[in-house]
Amino acid sequence: MKITALLSDTPLNAVLIGLCFGVLLILPWLHLLPADSALHLSAYWVTLIGKIMCFALVALALDLVWGYAGILSLGHGLYFALGAYAFGMYLMREASGDQLPDFMRFLSWTELPWYWVGTEHFLWAMALVVLVPGVIAFIFGFFAFRSKIKGVYFSIITQAMTFAAALLFFRNETGFGGNNGFTGFKTILGLDITSALMRASLCFITAVVLLLCFVALRHLMNRPYGRVLGAVRDGENRLQFLGYRTLWYKLSAWVISAIIAGIAGALYVPQSGIINPSEMNPVNSIEMAVWVAAGGRGTLIGPILGAGLINALKTYFTVAYPEVWLLILGGLFIVVTIFLPKGVIGLFDRFKKERD
């Protein structure tokens, strides 16, 4: 039995996945309980859970192109950061009111750059969250896939593009805050961003978006489109011989994946309180690939689990033993690659086969 069947075709597994998402939808509201309540969730924990769910959303996006289409991206941190910056522009405009953002006044700017026009409007900011990663992914993907760049060469190009973007955003004259990025957020739609209700709401919205994306992608992958993506991964030349235009299948998956990553970034920035070019660090994109590999490629639920487990470990070790975290991460990736090629989810498949 395949892992995908194990995860989606049995009622028991559907119930377990439903329960997990149900817990994620309930947890944010525990933050609104009295502080002396045994079930109260502190601001630290509700924010941490929200951020980890944002990372899980990126892992889900990466699994679409790597797990199903066989396209390994080492640059999804770029799309995540672009979505964060797009929504961060709105948050900065909210914080500055009728004046220029603080970093622009510090640099003696006298007017907003043209690409900041309209960012004071929430709906336009939401449109930018989708359009900016989507358009850039379309342009890059079209030329890359049309040139038939594959394998490690494609991965290196995505990483190089992310690094180049980080260098660009580090420059003060680009109008994105330079090294410091965006911070000092105060309100969303006029509501205090630090209030308990807003924290709980942002965490809840992140859980809802994660659930909707999971359900939508699971439905899509069970359709002929998903089967064609799998055929692209396993034998693209044979598929082209049968008359399929694989360019558009790969490009559409790439754009959808970039948009989901951008939405994750937009949800991340108000919960973290900051966005700067360090989010485009190539190491971050490599970590995203580790989340997917550790959880189980081509399963959708596996990358969500992998992102949750690894970021939980990261939260502990970067505080208790910060100097060894990267060693642990590298060791984990080696162990998963050698002993768990199907990730943590593969253990369930192995257990199922042993029982049968």
Q: pLDDT tens, 189-213?
A: 989 999 999 999 999 999 999 999 9
> Cα 160–166–169 angle (5° rounding)?
145
Residue that has been written with the tokens 């006298």 in this structure: 110
Any idea what DSSP says for residue 66?
I
pLDDT tens per residue, range 122-166: 999 999 999 999 999 999 999 999 999 988 999 999 999 999 999
pLDDT tens per residue, range 271-308: 999 999 999 988 899 999 999 999 989 999 999 999 99
The token pair at 163 is 């690094």
> Are 244 and 228 in contact, with CB atoms under 8 Å apart?
yes
Q: Where residue 355 falls among pLDDT bands split at 50, 70, 90? A: low
Q: CA–CA separation, 311 vs 306, rounded Å?
A: 8
> Are 80 and 268 in contact, with CB atoms under 8 Å apart?
yes
Largest CA-CA distance found in the chain, in angstroms, rounded = 71
Which of 37, 8, 249 minimizes the C-alpha distance to 142?
Answer: 249
Q: Give the domain range for residue 208.
A: 3-354
pTM exceeds 0.85, yes or no: yes
CB-facing half-sphere around the CA of 350: CA atoms within 13 A? 10
Q: CA–CA separation, 25 vs 16, rounded Å?
A: 14
How many domains does the structure of the chain reveal? 1
Q: For the chain, what's the residue count?
A: 356
State the average pLDDT over residues 245-270: 96
Task: Phi first, then psi: give them for residue 194, nearest 5 degrees.
Answer: -95, 0
Q: Where residue 347 falls among pLDDT bands split at 50, 70, 90? A: confident
